[in-house]
Structure 1
Amino acid sequence: MGQKLSCRKQHEKNGLFSAVANGELEMVEAILQKDPTVLEHLTAHSLLSPLHLAASNGRIEMLSMLLEHNIKVDILNHHKQTPLMLAVMHGKTGCVEKLIQAGANILMFDSLRRRTCLHYAAYYGHVGCLKAILSAAHSTPVADSWGFERFVNIRDRNGATPLHLAARQRQTECLRSLLDSGALVCASTGGYGYPGSTPLHMAARGGSVECVRMLLARGADRLQLDSSGRIPFSVALKNKRKACAALLNPSSAPLLVWPSPLKFISELNQEAKALLEKALLEANMEREKTLLRKADMPPSPLHSGSKDDDIASDSEVFKSDSDMELCSICFEQGCTIEVRPCGHQMCAHCTIALCCHKKPDPATACAAGPLCPFCRGTILQLILAKIKTSSDTEEVESSPTKPRRSRKSNFSEGSSSFKGLSAMGSFGRNAGCNSGKVGTEK
């Protein structure tokens, strides 16, 4: 008799778990009306609750119904993983958002490698889940107790941050989102002052040129040693990542680094930031062509990710060079960036070259930015330049108080203003150019 009763309960449990996984709401509701305590049941081996199953299978309606029954949102399985962690692992962004709204703790650690849901989002490359977690971290108790940047750089049992995992697994979109959120590009897995692997070591091991490119553009150190005394270049060679090794070779010219310490760069609006990021990418891609050519490797595609496509689409507001004034520095591209407060304009490539030329002094609290190449005034802000029509050009030419923008009239102004400025000349030497033109090689 007791054995029959036990078999019946086991059958009911299995029926509940199957119904939850398949999203059969009516069946689950019928089971709950008969016996509400079944929500406390767990699977035999993995100790998965109905909430775990609903989250991992992406059953949002089932998840909502279970949460209405006051089920514990942070219930643990045998690896101390929460339903939120399983939803992240399987890329169920809707379930992730629902669990966070229900109060799921994003700072829970599992018992496998002491990883959080942010680690799992970076490892598996689910950028939607990662962004949902980062958004929640701004307003949850985590922001008050830990601080947002500390959470972004949280370490697992092996000392790896989410940025390490994204770089190792070649998850470029997650890598970009973490970098934009303040992830430390030179974070080490070593603790208590001991050396360890950086995200650049991980990217070199994984072999993603895109990840290596992004980390270098954010200031990753090519000479930093890991626990075995190897630089990222050596790691790339050991794992036969030839293209990565070409970029990481310490004897090759470094890529341009995004000038994030500059105040007016950190205050850019999204449109201006997109244009400058695209200019930085194109300048570095020109340098990469030379490095990869020497290594007998094919050049990397310019638009290798969706983010680059977004940047390109953002810049389509500028229809063609004929619609805007020609840059008075390179005389190749239209003026897309305006300097405030002086109002002088130049192209995005020359702007990024100017900002990347002067490296900030780490000993000073505030990074001293470059000056406007035309009037030598302090740059307080960079914004998108307005496209001027022919009527606007005629108005400017008739007004003696406004700077002239035509190619002919600006040649003397641009050249004289840059005569005492070594920014463009230095940039040209670094890029292997004799003309001083941004991001081009002969």
Structure 2
Amino acid sequence: MGQGISCRTGDENGFFSAVQFGDLETVQALLERDPTLVRQGTVYDRQSALHIAAANGQIEIVSMLLDRSVNPDCLNRHKQSPLMLAAMHGKISCVHKLIQAGANILMFDSLHGRTCLHHAAYYGHSDCLEAILSAARSSHVSLSWGFARFVNIRDGKGATPLHLAARQRRPACVHVLLDNGALVCASTGGYGFPGSTPLHLAARGGSLDCIRELLAWGADRLQRDASGRIPYAVALKRKHVACAALLNPSSAEPLVWPSPLKFISELNHDAKALLEQALMEANREKEKNILKGTAYSQPSPSHSDAGIDDNVSEASDTELCCICFDQVCTIEVQDCGHQMCAQCTLALCCHNKPNPTTACLNAPVCPFCRSTIAQLVVAKVKVVTDIDRDMYSSKLRRSRKSRNLSEGSSSFKGLSAVGSFGKMGARGSGRIATENDCIDKPFDP
């Protein structure tokens, strides 16, 4: 919904039409003649000038009206505020301006009992969603209501913003909400089918991207709705074949973002982006096997020695990860300073699906010095000299050859550019997974 609301009114001076189309000069002239126009509304929906300007993204008129002390929380016929309409129509500049003017982000409309957060999630405006969440985190809402409570706020039918984003196929909004603490396994009340989780609703909508995001944040494929259906059954009923394949309980569990770890919650933006990308790449590699035979299957890239040499050549000026010898070191452990690629870092953190009954996980240790990892940052690029290039190429070939000859190797197995994770043994690296708790172990309900 990128278009703003239309203004159909019999007002002979054309005030509301001028507001809708951003004719600032006409609006100012009409207000000089009759200042009471700012308090009037359209005949049927009782949209004020501020509602119309916000919904149509007319930021200059929004600013002018707010400068004239117009109430930022004025309501239309459905008790919707200008901020709700700006979020609904994706007018980010108006969202920022209204929040800056003190607009109340905790107001509910009378149509569905939804807030501006619900509207931004439903219509897929992730930038508006982030602006509202940022305001909630830094305002009285965080102190009086609690930020986690606001992120999981329910509408009149018991749907959280995450439920709405999943149902409407809005993966970017799903990601933003999960990243801000949305409950991935929350059940609905009367929205959709009673007891539905965001995963049920994503299965119903047939969004592979939403399902990927939810599974990567620990959504339970075995959780049932009020009728006893798991998300897999919902996808099958709706004939979403690829979605059903990912949701099948017998399929391999995806890697899950290790949010319970304290240093993960404290990652800076750049380090977090690197690890999130590595996580999604690793899960997509798993998907290739799961989706074989469906219309969504894709050919796997070849991992020949020739391909390895190409990778070495492309990364010849930077230091390769000493664990997998495939990827450039992008993550650094502080304070010891040891470096790894993002894939190997994830293998340290994501070896088990988090147990929802466990408040926190034991922090993993650095595989080089075995000190507890307290912080991760983006690694500074280390330049590799010409003398070292042959050494890296040789190490890489030997590593690949030994892994092909022996599946019992004590190093990371199959850690490649596409993020296929394996095990790390005990020799100077720290324990990652055993035969009994490796990544692909089915999740017990």
Q: Same fold (TM over 0.5)?
A: yes
Letter in 2 for 1:351: T
Distance 2:410 2:300 in 1: 33
Q: How does 1:192-341 map to 2 (within 5 A)?
A: 196-295=195-294, 297-299=296-298, 320-341=314-335
Q: Could you report, residue by residue, the CA deviation over 1:299-337 in whole angstroms, capped at 9, with x for unpaired residues?
A: 4999xxxxxxxxxxxxxxx99432233333323223332
Alignment correspondent of 2:425:
418
CA drift of 1:414 comes to 7.4
1:349 aligns with 2:362: no
Offset of residue 431 of structure 1? 5.4
Q: Does the 8 Å CA contact 1:324/1:387 hold for their aligned counterparts?
A: yes
Alignment match, 1:79: 78
> One-letter code of the match for 2:98?
L
SS in 1 for 2:226: coil
| Structure 1 residues 144-183: Cα deviation after superposition (integer angstroms, max 9, x where no partner) | 2211111111000111111111111111111111111111
Instruction: Work out whether residues 195 and 225 of structure 1, in 8 Å CA contact, stay in contact via their aligned partners in 2.
Output: no
2:5 maps to none
Task: Calculate percent identity across the aligned residue pairs.
Answer: 62
Aligned to 2:406: none
Question: Residues 133-212 of structure 1: matches in 2 within 5 Å?
Answer: 133-190=132-189, 196-212=195-211
Moved more, 34-43 or 372-381: 372-381
C-alpha offsets along residues 212-233 of structure 1, whole Å, 9 cap, x if unaligned?
A: 0010000001011112211111
Amino acid at match of 1:347: C
Per-residue deviation, 1:361: 5.6
Distance 1:300 1:103, change over 3 A: farther
Structure 2 equivalent of residue 440 of structure 1: none
The whole-number CA distance in structure 2 between the counterparts of 1:26 and 1:337 is: 54
Change (3 A) 1:131 1:419: closer
SS at 1:350 equivalent: helix
The answer to whether the 8 A contact 2:107-2:115 is kept is yes
1:368 is aligned, of 362, 365, 368, to: 362
* Correspondence 1:78-117 to 2 at 5 A: 78-117=77-116
Over aligned residues, Cα RMSD in angstroms? 3.3
Structure 1: gaps of 5 or more residues: 1-9, 303-317, 398-403, 433-442
- Cα deviation digits, residues 102-160 of structure 1 (max 9, x gap): 11111110011100011010111112211221121122332222111111110001111
1: distance between equivalents of 2:313 and 2:60?
46
Structure 2 partner of 1:65: 64
Question: CA distance change for structure 1 residues 393 and 360 in 2, over 3 Å: closer, same or farther?
Answer: farther
Q: TM-score, normalised by structure 2?
A: 0.80
1:415 CA drift (Å): 4.7
8 Å Cα contact 1:326-1:406 kept in structure 2: no
- The one of the two structures with greater contact order (alpha-carbon pairs below 8 A, sep at least 6) is 2
Is the 2:351–2:438 contact (alpha carbons within 8 Å) kept by the matching residues of 1? no
* Residues 48 and 301 of structure 1: CA distance in aligned 2, closer, same or farther (over 3 Å): farther
Distance 2:228 2:164 in 1: 21
Distance in 1 (CA, whole Å) between partners of 2:410 and 2:372 is 17
Letter of the aligned partner of 2:340 in structure 1? M
Instruction: Note if contact 1:327-1:334 (Cα within 8 Å) is conserved in structure 2.
Output: yes
Deviation per CA, 1:51-92: give whole Å up to 9, x if none: 111111111111122222222221111111111111111111
Which deviates more, 383-392 or 288-297? Answer: 383-392
User: Cα gap change, 1:169/1:64 in structure 2, threshold over 3 Å: closer, same or farther?
Assistant: same
- What's the CA shift for 1:247? 0.3
Query: In the alignment, is the contact (CA less than 8 A) between 1:353 and 1:427 conserved in 2?
Result: no
Instruction: Give CA-to-partner distance per residue, 1:174-197, whole Å, 9 cap, x none.
Output: 111111111111111139xx9711
Distance in 2 (alpha carbons) for counterparts of 1:407 and 1:116: 57
* Structure 1 residue 34, shift from structure 2 partner: 2.3
Instruction: Report deviation, 1:351.
Output: 1.6
155-164 or 383-392, larger mean C-alpha shift: 383-392
Equivalent-residue separation in structure 2 for 1:130 and 1:269 (angstroms): 20
Look up the match of 2:129.
130
Residue 20 in structure 1 maps to residue 27 in structure 2 = no
- For the structure 1 residues 142 and 429, does the alpha-carbon distance in structure 2 shift closer, same or farther, using more than 3 Å as the test? closer
Cα displacement string for residues 19-48 of structure 1 (whole angstroms, at most 9, x for unaligned residues): 221222222223222222222222111111
The alpha-carbon distance between structure 1 residues 319 and 103, as it changes in their structure 2 partners (threshold 3 A), is: farther
> Matches of 1:36 and 1:106 in 2, distance apart?
28
Q: TM-score, normalised by structure 1?
A: 0.81
Structure 1 residues 361, 65: closer, same or farther in 2, change over 3 A? closer
Deviates more, 1:343-352 or 1:246-255: 343-352
1:426 is displaced (CA, Å) by 4.9
Consecutive unaligned residues in structure 2, runs of 5 or more: 1-8, 302-311, 403-408, 413-423
Shift of 1:429: 6.1
Taking structure 1 as reference, are residues 158 and 300 closer, same or farther at Cα in structure 2, changes over 3 Å only? farther
Q: Distance in 2 between matches of 1:104 and 1:187?
A: 28
Higher helix share: 1
| Higher alpha-carbon deviation: 15-24 or 43-52 | 15-24
Equivalent pairs counted in the alignment come to 397
2:383 pairs, out of 389, 400, 404, with 389
Give the AA of the match of 2:82: P
User: Hey, what's the Cα distance between the residues in 1 that align with 2:163 and 2:431?
Assistant: 37
CA–CA distance in structure 2, aligned partners of residues 324 and 425 of structure 1: 32
1-side partners of 2:318 and 2:437: how far apart?
A: 25
Q: CA deviation at 1:344?
A: 3.1
